[in-house]
Amino acid sequence: MNPWEMSGEIKEQDYPKLIKEFGAKIIDDKLLNELKKFTGELHPFLTTKLFFAHRDLDTVLDDYSKGKEFYLYTGRGPSGKMHLGHLLPFIFTKWLQDKFDVDLLIQMTDDEKYLVRDIPMEEIRKNTHENILDILSLGFKKEKTHVIIDSEQSKILYNNAILFAKRLTASTAKAVFGLKDSDNVGKYFFTSMQAVPAFLLSAIKGRNIRCLIPYGIDQDDHFKLARDILPKLGYYKPSAIISKLMPSLQGSGKMSSSDPNSSIFLDDNEETVRRKINKYAFSGGRDTKEEQRKLGANPDIDFAFNMYRFLEPDQTKVDKVYSEYKSGRMLSGEMKALSADAINAFLSKLRSRRESIKDDVDSYMFDVDRFK
């Protein structure tokens, strides 16, 4: 696995091995309790271990408890339209931002998608704009959320990226990402762009500020390199909170944009959502109604239940559904109906927020002067 290529699929039991290989740490109960001291509650992505690993999250919390600030950074490669799976990491990032009330940088890597995919620049530009609206419709705080579009912030990004690039050799990039001589040189350079937001606020403010990056495990190579190189530039190693690949409708592999039935898109209408959930959602239920009544379902692997659990704000409701479904009192059909309702309610809220911020996107764009 590398950021640009996935061969095969990752199974649940592979994750601990991967993490060991990568040198990150599992988020254990002790760290969860530490985090809970600041957040008051734990997001379902933490309790379900969707976000399951970290690098130096403990250091961020330690420093924070001593009154030292940090900021959040995450991003998206605007390769196409967004589905629910794409949005999940942003839901989690927003939760962190709300709990800690910190600045957040969101990088849109239009340059990356041009370099690594076969998509015309105009199409990427259009996706970038649409994706930003999708992300912002989650309701991020305006004063503290700063969207960086690589091609539009090229001056400040480039001037910092070259500091990074000077310390990254082609042979390292080649080894880390499995690049070949026939790969374009842009790919060799790109990590230098993705690393910049991890030290950008420190660079602008002229003092070291910790950066915590929520990301999917497929992005780990970039940030491992950043952890090697940032100290050489005089900055902190970036900290990370790492997720598994987002669950797909069909239960295995990740949600993919190329197969329309493997994902729920943000612009799917209510009927389509219901149909996809009914027809394709991987079920933890039994084959027959009788068996289900007798043996109950396995909610933890059930796509419909998991989406319900992620999107339903009322935890007591979620707990009740969990035990109803697990015991067999609730059938898969009912579970799917509940889930589709929750998804539709969520999407409809998203759409109305999207409408209301449509003309205000500019005020979320990164502006150096706000940090000086």
Does residue 235 contact residue 207 with C-beta atoms inside 8 Å?
no
Rounded to a whole number of angstroms, the minimum distance from the CB of residue 26 to ligand TRP is 20
Choice between 73 and 235, CB closer to ligand TRP: 73
Choice between 110 and 324, CB closer to ligand TRP: 110
What CA–CA distance (Å, rounded) separates 235 from 288?
A: 58
Does residue 344 contact residue 119 with C-beta atoms inside 8 Å?
no
Rounded to a whole number of angstroms, the minimum distance from the CB of residue 187 to ligand TRP is 12
Q: Three-state SS string across 307-361, please?
A: HHHHHCCCHHHHHHHHHHHHHCCCCHHHHHHHHHHHHHHHHHHHHHHHHHHHHHH
Choice between 46 and 211, CB closer to ligand TRP: 211
Tokens representing residue 170 in the block: 């082609």
What CA–CA distance (Å, rounded) separates 113 from 120?
A: 9
Rounded to a whole number of angstroms, the minimum distance from the CB of residue 8 to ligand TRP is 19
Residues that bind ligand TRP (CB under 6 A): 3, 73-77, 107, 109, 112, 194, 213, 215, 219
Choice between 221 and 312, CB closer to ligand TRP: 221
Rounded to a whole number of angstroms, the minimum distance from the CB of residue 295 to ligand TRP is 40
CA angle (111 as vertex; 108, 115 as ends), nearest 5 = 135
Choice between 213 and 340, CB closer to ligand TRP: 213
Rounded to a whole number of angstroms, the minimum distance from the CB of residue 105 to ligand TRP is 9
Choice between 262 and 283, CB closer to ligand TRP: 262
Choice between 113 and 274, CB closer to ligand TRP: 113
The angle that helices 185-195 and 220-229 make with each other, rounded to 10 degrees, is 70
Rounded to a whole number of angstroms, the minimum distance from the CB of residue 18 to ligand TRP is 17
Tokens representing residue 177 in the block: 């990402």
Does residue 153 contact residue 161 with C-beta atoms inside 8 Å?
no
Choice between 127 and 306, CB closer to ligand TRP: 127
Amino acid at 239: S
DSSP state letters, 213-225:
EEEEGGGHHHHHH
Rounded to a whole number of angstroms, the minimum distance from the CB of residue 213 to ligand TRP is 5
Report CA 193 to chain centroid distance, whole Å. 18
Spatial strand order in the sheet of 70-76: 25-26, 51-55, 239-243, 210-216, 70-76, 104-108, 145-149
Rounded to a whole number of angstroms, the minimum distance from the CB of residue 240 to ligand TRP is 9
What CA–CA distance (Å, rounded) separates 161 from 154?
A: 10
Tokens representing residue 147 in the block: 């969207």
Q: Which residue is nearest to ligand TRP (CB)?
A: 75
Does residue 204 contact residue 159 with C-beta atoms inside 8 Å?
no
